[in-house]
Amino acid sequence: MTGAGGRLVSLLSDLRGGGTGEESIGVDLSRLKSAPTDYAIQEIARAIAPSNGDRERIINGLQAALSRALEGSEVFEPEGLSEDILVDVLLNYLTEVVFEQVVLDSDHAFEKAEDPEVNVKREGELFEVVEASVDKHLHPLLGDNVSQFSADDLAKLQRDALKEVWEEWDAEVQE
């Protein structure tokens, strides 16, 4: 799943520089310029997600990450994607991946409260913890120029950050 984050940043960097996406992911997405942002997000996620058992999870994570980073943009203008936005997209995506994995690993722990509002609140709190932890571990590795990294470099950085997040949580659980 981390490979998709690297491909996403590679694609967005390519589109930002006037490319079509063909070079970065093998698909021409130039038609998305000036398209409604929601449509562009959907098409980008579908183009990047691999055709395997994780496809839907990856699509959902990519869509959520892009939606958060591009919030308020009605039209997709790739040349307006700053380095800060690219960093946000990657951090958002990894947050989605880690959060989903934690929820899956929790084996329905969030469904044990009798009041559904308590479950929603707990999930929201967990999401905030995951978001802060991912930012703490990945942001310093990225610096201010995420587009300088290859998709493979970004995938490795994400895996390293994911490992650090899990190690931190394991240490906290052991205390």
Provide the whole-model pTM.
Answer: 0.82
Q: What is the pLDDT of residue 19?
A: 94
What's 36's DSSP letter?
B
Domain ranges of the chain: 2-174
The Cα angle at residue 98 between residues 93 and 104, in degrees rounded to 5: 125
Instruction: For 116-172, write each residue's pLDDT tens digit.
Output: 888 888 888 888 888 888 888 888 887 777 877 777 887 787 777 777 777 776 676
pLDDT-derived band of residue 173, with 50, 70 and 90 as boundaries? low
49-55, Cβ contacts within 8 angstroms, sequence gap of 24 or more:
49/4, 50/3, 50/4, 54/1
Q: Cα(2)–Cα(22) distance, rounded to whole angstroms?
A: 21
Instruction: For 77-128, write each residue's pLDDT tens digit.
Output: 999 999 899 989 988 988 888 888 777 777 666 667 778 888 888 888 888 8
Q: Cα(115)–Cα(87) distance, rounded to whole angstroms?
A: 37
Range ranked top by mean pLDDT from 6-15, 64-73, 81-90, 121-130: 64-73
Residue 32: CA count within 13 A, CB half-sphere: 28
Side chain identity at 107, as an amino acid letter?
D
